[in-house]
Amino acid sequence: MKTPSPIKLTLAFTDPELDDRERDREVQTLLTELKGLDLIRAGRAPDPAPPEGNKAMGGVLTGMIIMELYGPQLKNLFGLLGARLSGKTIEFEVEANGKRLSVKAADEKDMDLAIRKARAFIEE
C-alpha cells in the first residue's frame, strides 16, 4: 500500500490594516488553536534570508504559518480555518502531489471559495 504524501499549506495574514505585531498575534492565536488537530507540524514560516548578523537560528516571516498534514486531517483543518479566518484577509498556498495552488480570501464568501478550490486541487 502506498504511503500518502503530506500536504503542505502556507498561510499568510495580508490585511493591510494590520501591523506586524497584529499579524503575529493572529499567527500565535491560530497556532494555539491548531494544537488540537493531528497535524504533522505547524509553526511560523522561517525567513529564507534572515538579516545579516542574526545570531539566532534564523528569523521568521511576519504573519505566516506553515502546516503539514495528511489528507484525512484536511477536513478538520479547513473547518477550523473557515470558522476562524472568515472575514480576514489572507493568502494561502497549498502544495500537494508536486503541484502548487495559491488562493486569496478577504471575506467569508472568498474563504468558502478558496477552501473549495483547495479541496478540488488536492483531490486531483
Query: Which CATH number does the domain housing residue 95 bear?
Result: 3.30.70
Domain count, the chain: 1
User: Considering the domain boundaries, does residue 44 fall inside one?
Assistant: yes
Domain residues for the domain of 26 are 7-48+59-123
Provide the 10 A C-beta neighbour count for residue 105: 24
> Please, are residues 102 and 93 in contact by the beta-carbon 8 Å criterion?
yes
Tell whether the model's pLDDT for residue 4 goes beyond 80: no
Judged on CB neighbours under 10 Å (0-12, 13-18, 19+), 53 is exposed
Measured between alpha carbons, how far is 92 from 80 in angstroms, rounded to an integer?
Answer: 14
Q: Is residue 21, in this structure, part of any structural domain at all?
A: yes
Residue 24 has a pLDDT of 93
| Residue 53, domain member (yes or no) | no
Position 79 confidence tier, pLDDT thresholds 50, 70, 90: confident
Does residue 54 form part of some domain?
A: no
Can you tell me the distance from the alpha carbon of 90 to that of 82, in angstroms, rounded to the nearest whole number?
Answer: 11
pLDDT at 44 over 90: yes
Joined together, the cell numbers standing for residue 17 give 490594516
